[in-house]
Amino acid sequence: MIDVNKSSAVHAAIVVRAALFILALAFMTFMGFPKYVTADEIERGRYIFDLAGCAGCHTDKKSKGAFLGGGRKFETEFGTFYSPNITPDPNSGIGKWGSTDFIRAMREGISPDGFNYYPSFPYTSYNKITDDDLKALWAYLQSVPPVAQINISHNLTPPFNWRFLISIWKLINFNQTPFTPEQEKTAAWNRGRYIIEALSHCRECHTPRNIIGGLDITMDYAGTEKNPEGIVVPNITTDRDTGIGKWTKGDIDMLLTMGMLPNNDFVGGVMAESVTHSTSKMTPDDKSAVIEYLGQIRPIINPIKRKKSANSGESWQ
Amino acid sequence: MRRLFLSACAVALGLSIFSTNSDAYAQDPATETAIKYRQSVMKAVGGNMGAMVGIMKGAGDKANLAAHAGAMADLSKIAPTLFPAGSDFGETTALPVIWEKPADFSAAIKKFQDAADNLASVAQSGDMAAFGPAFKGLGESCKNCHENFREKKEKK
């Protein structure tokens, strides 16, 4: 025998629950997204974090420092910079920050106390990261283990140690236009451009700088024989003789995946770090998007050579 | 003045008779030889690497992968002799940290040798499915050492 009353009670309960659920959804949509973060969001944030290569700069690998504990040294012609601790430690890290503090740092290069960051923190590229990606990145950063490690102050040569001068620098060199996809281009091209310009900040190294360290966009991606750290950075425009215009898609794929060059050498130093932290972790779709965008970069003739010392000869003694 | 003139002639003629006592040669010849030897071995390492890429892309004969992987395993055994003390000074892209952190550098060499041995035995066995991942592992060991111990810096 069927208990009619019980069955309709069950139905009523289901209807009530469904209605509540719909109400809750409507409420959440109305109020904006829920405050709690999901594991998915953190996972998405980790991918943004990887492509953006934050780990390399904020971990002092040479001294086997803790993950994101900071203290990595950058010796430049402006003096020595040390990266700060970006773990959620409340005292030595950024544990007291809210998401708006984080977004302001990444978008505007301004600290919660209102001072300007040096562009050695590449917010000049990161300011093009989308809101959604910044939120996910923040969710991920809050999930990493806190590390108690006090920041080391930079040791810069005057006038570069005057932070207030950065505001003038920004007026000249900081292009704050947000990333806007170009409608007439393919989705892959736009995605590739977003990864290259905003996340993986290829321009920060491959575009030469003016004497005050601003990017010289007229020479976009054309390399330099001496960056502020004294490193030789090759021309990666599509120029056939001085850039990578003769490379095949397969050559670029090998570089992004393993760091291998068409002449059988492997990249070293900072580019190898970019491969380790960023390009080797790209999904196949993102990798082909990057390849598509790279293949359409405007060719610029700029031969890059490692300056040889006067006495070096190619022959055996 | 006369000495300078002679040196200039010697350099112009490509002679090396003054190489040990002339000021024109700031570089210790033994160091330069060591650097040149290192770079030559590295080129051979790269050559075998490139040859394997070629075969994987369809050139030559797959059976020869074992020869290249074997050569790589042999060359990896030579690697520890390529970095005599003092050979960071000169026309080289090797970083001084090689000599400052010998334990870390030995670990990078060990990683290279293990990956090369692994690739050689996979290639011997003819297991093509395992070859790709083993090759990637070897590439990883090249990048690891170049990342930490090599940089193309401006020459002073």
**Domain residue ranges in chain B:** 2-149
Contacts from A249-257 at CB under 8 Å and sequence distance 24+? A249/A291, A249/A295, A250/B57, A252/A291, A252/A294, A252/A295, A253/A287, A253/A291, A254/B53, A255/A279, A256/A280, A256/A282, A256/A287, A256/A290, A256/A291, A257/A287
* Per-residue pLDDT at B3: 40
CB A192 within 8 A of CB A291: yes
CB contact under 8 A, A273 and B25: no
* Per-residue pLDDT at A25: 45
Q: What is the mean pLDDT of residues A113-128?
A: 96
Percent of chain A with pLDDT over 70: 85
What pLDDT, in 10s, does the model give residues A145-183? 999 999 999 999 988 989 989 999 999 999 988 999 999
Is residue A31 pLDDT above 50, yes or no? no
* Per-residue pLDDT at B155: 67
CB contact under 8 A, B46 and A263: yes
Q: Which residues of B touch A230 (CB under 8 A)?
A: 153-154
Is residue A241 pLDDT above 70, yes or no? yes
CB A196 within 8 A of CB A294: yes
Instruction: Name the CATH code of domain A37-171 (choices 1.10.760, 3.30.230, 1.10.443, 2.40.10).
Output: 1.10.760
Nearest-angstrom CA–CA distance, B137 and A231: 27
Query: Where residue A36 falls among pLDDT bands split at 50, 70, 90?
Result: low
Is residue B103 pLDDT above 60, yes or no? yes
CB contact under 8 A, B153 and A231: yes
Beta-carbon count within 10 A of B27 CB: 19
Nearest-angstrom CA–CA distance, A207 and A135: 28
Is residue A46 pLDDT above 60, yes or no? yes
What pLDDT, in 10s, does the model give residues A73-107? 999 999 999 999 999 999 999 999 999 999 999 99
* Per-residue pLDDT at A273: 97
What pLDDT, in 10s, does the model give residues B20-41? 344 445 567 888 999 999 999 9
CA distance B140 to chain A (A): 7
For residue A265, what is the nearest residue in chain B, using CA coordinates?
A: B46
Instruction: Name the CATH code of domain B2-149 (choices 2.40.110.10, 3.40.50.2300, 1.20.120.10, 3.90.230.10).
Output: 1.20.120.10
CB A95 within 8 A of CB A113: no
Tally C-beta pairs within 8 A across A and B.
95
Beta-carbon count within 10 A of B91 CB: 18
Query: Where residue B54 falls among pLDDT bands split at 50, 70, 90?
Result: very high
CA distance A257 to chain B (A): 9
